[in-house]
Amino acid sequence: MAKPNKTQENDGDVAVFLDAVKPDQKREDCKVIAKMMAELSGERAKMWGAAIIGYGTYHYKYASGREGEFMRIGFAPRAQNIVLYIMPGFSISQDLMAKLGKHKTGKSCLYINKLADLDMDVLRALMIASLQAMEEKYPNS
């Protein structure tokens, strides 16, 4: 049997987790992100692991046979920055990325220091594009 993902959806209290985020500006930015992701996804926030907030789920299956469930979109306040999980990656939205503002990226991770560094309309459009791409690849059943 395949080993399950380390990061699993759980019943952790999202509001309690967000209220504990420090410093104050990061906590407020995370609350804005949480509200935006909930609104755009139409999903309720759930804890994934100990420190990730995710919205919606999808089932994936790789050619290797490994399969599982993961969030469609989410974020995590980290010590150095806030990480937004844009699951399809950024190749679908290069034009938006060029206009977003100060950020760094990984494969599916968008690293930001604070929302004030970003164009919020572009961030919103990026989230919408991500959710649309996920719906095309992994339609809700």
pLDDT tens string 55-75: 999 988 888 888 889 999 999
The answer to whether residue 131 sits within a structural domain is yes
Q: How many domains does the chain have?
A: 1
Tell me whether residue 1 is in a domain.
no
Residue among 108, 109, 53 at smallest CA distance from 81: 109
In a domain, 49, yes or no: yes
Instruction: Specify if 50 maps to a domain.
Output: yes
Q: Answer positive or negative: Cα dihedral of 115, 116, 117, 123.
A: positive
pLDDT tens, 5-60? Answer: 788 899 999 999 999 999 999 999 999 999 999 999 999 999 999 999 999 999 88
Q: Is residue 2 part of a domain?
A: no
Question: What CATH number is associated with residue 85?
Answer: 3.90.1150
Percent of the chain at pLDDT exceeding 90: 82
Instruction: Write out the residue range of the structural domain in which residue 40 sits.
Output: 9-137
Residue 83 domain flag: yes
